[in-house]
Amino acid sequence: MGAQTPNGFSLDASGKRIVVDPVTRIEGHLRVEVNVDEHNVIRNAVSTGTMWRGIEVILKGRDPRDAWAFTERICGVCTGTHALTSVRAVENALGISIPENANTIRNLMQLALQVHDHLVHFYHLHALDWVDVVSALKADPKATSILAQSISRWPMSSPGYFKDLQTRLAKFVESGQLGPFKNGYWGHPAYKLPPEANLLAVAHYLEALDFQKEIVKIHTIYGGKNPHPNWLVGGVPCSINVDGTGAVGAINIERLNLVSSVIDRTLEFVEQVYLPDVVAIAGFYKDWLYGGGLSSKSVMSYGDIPEYANDYTDKSLLLPRGVILNGNLKEIHEIDLNAPDQVQEFVAHSWYKYPDETVGLHPYDGVTEPNYQLGPKSKGSKTDIQSLDESAKYSWIKSPRWKGNAVEVGPLARYIIGYAQGKAEFKDPTDKLLTDLGLPLTALFSTLGRTAARALECQWAAQKMRYFQDKLLGSIKAGNLATANVEKWDPATWPKETRGVGFTEAPRGALGHWIRIKDAKIDNYQCVVPTTWNGSPRDPKGNIGAFEASLLDTPVADPNQPLEIIRTLHSFDPCLACSTHVMSPDGQEMAKVTVR
Amino acid sequence: MNEDGMYCIDGGRPFVERLTEMASDAMAVVAWGACASWGCVQAAKPNPTHAVPIDKVIRNKPIVKVPGCPPIAEVMTGVITYVTMFGRLPDLDRQGRPKMFYSQRIHDKCYRRPHFDAGQFVEEWDDEGARKGFCLYKMGCKGPTTYNACSTTRWNGGVSFPIQSGHGCIGCSEDGFWDKGSFYDRLTGINAFGIERNADQIGLAAAGIVVAGIAVHAGITAVRQLTTKPKDTIKTIASEPTDKNAG
Ligand code: SF4
For residues B6 and B83, state if they share a domain: yes
A146, part of any domain: no
**The predicted structure's pLDDT at residue B13:** 57
B216 to chain A: nearest residue by CA?
Answer: A580
Decide if A492 touches B, using CB distance below 8 A. Answer: no
How many angstroms separate the CA atoms of A59 and A39, rounded? Answer: 49
B110, part of any domain: yes
In one-letter notation, the amino acid at residue A362 is H
Q: Residue B84 is part of which domain span?
A: 2-101
Q: Is the CB of B110 under 6 A from ligand 1?
A: yes
- Give the length of chain A: 596
Which of B68, B101, B134 is where one domain is finished? B101
Rounded to 5°, the CA angle A592-B54-A180 comes to 40
For residues B134 and B162, state if they share a domain: yes
pLDDT surpasses 80 at A238: yes
DSSP state of A593: E
Instruction: State the pairing for strand pair B28-32/B63-66.
Output: parallel
Would the annotation count A369 as a binding residue? no
A32, part of any domain: yes
Residue among B131, B160, B219 minimizing CB distance to A580: B219
Which of B150, B179, B208 is where one domain is finished? B179
How many angstroms separate the CA atoms of A38 and A41, rounded? Answer: 7
A84, part of any domain: yes
Are A580 and B46 in contact (CB < 8 Å)?
Answer: no
How many angstroms separate the CA atoms of A333 and A341, rounded? Answer: 14
**pLDDT band with cut points at 50, 70 and 90 for residue B208:** very low
A415, part of any domain: yes
Of B104, B105, B106, the one to substitute when testing ligand 1's pocket (max ligand atoms within 8 A of C-beta) is B106
A50, part of any domain: yes
Alpha-carbon gap: B71 to the closest alpha carbon of chain A (Å): 9
Q: Is the CB of B116 under 6 A from ligand 1?
A: yes
For residues B37 and B97, state if they share a domain: yes
**pLDDT band with cut points at 50, 70 and 90 for residue B51:** low
Are B9 and A585 in contact (CB < 8 Å)?
Answer: no
Q: Flag the least confident range among A7-16, A263-272, A354-363, B20-29.
A: B20-29
Decide if A429 touches B, using CB distance below 8 A. Answer: no
Tell me how many domains chain B contains.
3
Which of B60, B81, B101 is where one domain is finished? B101
For residues B97 and B146, state if they share a domain: no
In one-letter notation, the amino acid at residue A387 is S
For residues B155 and B168, state if they share a domain: yes
A180, part of any domain: no
Residue among A19, A217, A372 minimizing CB distance to B156: A217
**CA dist list (Å): A362 to A214, A306, A576:** 40, 25, 21
For residues B115 and B168, state if they share a domain: yes
- Looking at every residue in chain B, the average pLDDT score rounds to 70
A147, part of any domain: no
CATH code assigned at B143? 4.10.480.10
For residues B114 and B92, state if they share a domain: no
- Looking at every residue in chain A, the average pLDDT score rounds to 90
B247, part of any domain: no
List CB contacts (< 8 A) between A258 and chain B: 159
Ligand 1 atom closest to B163 (CA): 3
Are A222 and B155 in contact (CB < 8 Å)?
Answer: no
For residues B46 and B72, state if they share a domain: yes
pTM across the whole model: 0.88
Contacts of B22 (CB under 8 A, 6+ apart): B220, B222, B235, B237
Q: Residue A423 is part of which domain span?
A: 3-128+211-595
Q: Tell me how far the alpha carbon of residue A521 lies from the centroid of ligand 1, in angstroms.
A: 27
Residue A534, class by beta-carbon neighbours within 10 Å (0-12 exposed, 13-18 middle, 19+ buried)?
A: buried
Would the annotation count A575 as a binding residue? yes
pLDDT digits (tens, 9 = 90+) for A3-35: 899 999 999 999 999 998 777 666 556 889 999
pLDDT digits (tens, 9 = 90+) for A182-236: 667 888 999 999 999 999 999 999 999 889 899 999 999 999 999 899 999 999 9
| Residue ID of nearest Cα to ligand 1 atom 6 | B107
B131, part of any domain: yes
B188, part of any domain: no
B190, part of any domain: no
Tell me how many domains chain A contains.
1
- Cβ-based neighbour number of residue B245 at 10 Å: 27
pLDDT surpasses 60 at A248: yes
DSSP state of A350: B
Sign (positive or negative) of CA dihedral B3, B8, B11, B16: negative
H helix or E strand, kind and range, residue A588: strand A587-588
Ligand 1 atom closest to B110 (CA): 8
Percent of chain A at pLDDT above 70? 92
List CB contacts (< 8 A) between A580 and chain B: 8, 10, 15, 216-219, 237, 239
Q: Tell me how far the alpha carbon of residue A162 lies from the centroid of ligand 1, in angstroms.
A: 49
Rounded to 5°, the CA angle A508-A473-B130 comes to 90
Decide if A371 touches B, using CB distance below 8 A. Answer: no
For residues B8 and B95, state if they share a domain: yes
List CB contacts (< 8 A) between B18 and chain A: 582
As a 3-state breakdown, chain A gives helix, strand, coil percent values, each rounded to 5, of: 40, 15, 40
A484, part of any domain: yes
Of A408, A407, A410, A360, which Cα lies nearest the Cα of A539? A360
pLDDT digits (tens, 9 = 90+) for B112-144: 999 999 999 999 999 999 999 999 999 999 999
Alpha-carbon gap: B139 to the closest alpha carbon of chain A (Å): 11
For residues B112 and B168, state if they share a domain: yes
For residues B91 and B11, state if they share a domain: yes
B25, part of any domain: yes
Decide if A125 touches B, using CB distance below 8 A. Answer: yes
| Residue ID of nearest Cα to ligand 1 atom 5 | B113
CATH code assigned at B36? 3.40.50.700
Residue among B10, B70, B150 minimizing CB distance to A22: B10
For residues B87 and B143, state if they share a domain: no
A53 to chain B: nearest residue by CA?
Answer: B42
Instruction: State the pairing for strand pair A304-306/A299-301.
Output: unpaired
What angle do the packed helices A447-477 and A100-120 form, to 10 degrees? 150
CATH code assigned at A578? 1.10.645.10
| Residue ID of nearest Cα to ligand 1 atom 1 | B137
Residue among B10, B160, B241 minimizing CB distance to A224: B160
Put simply, the chain A residues between 275 and 334 with a CB less than 8 A from any chain B CB are: none
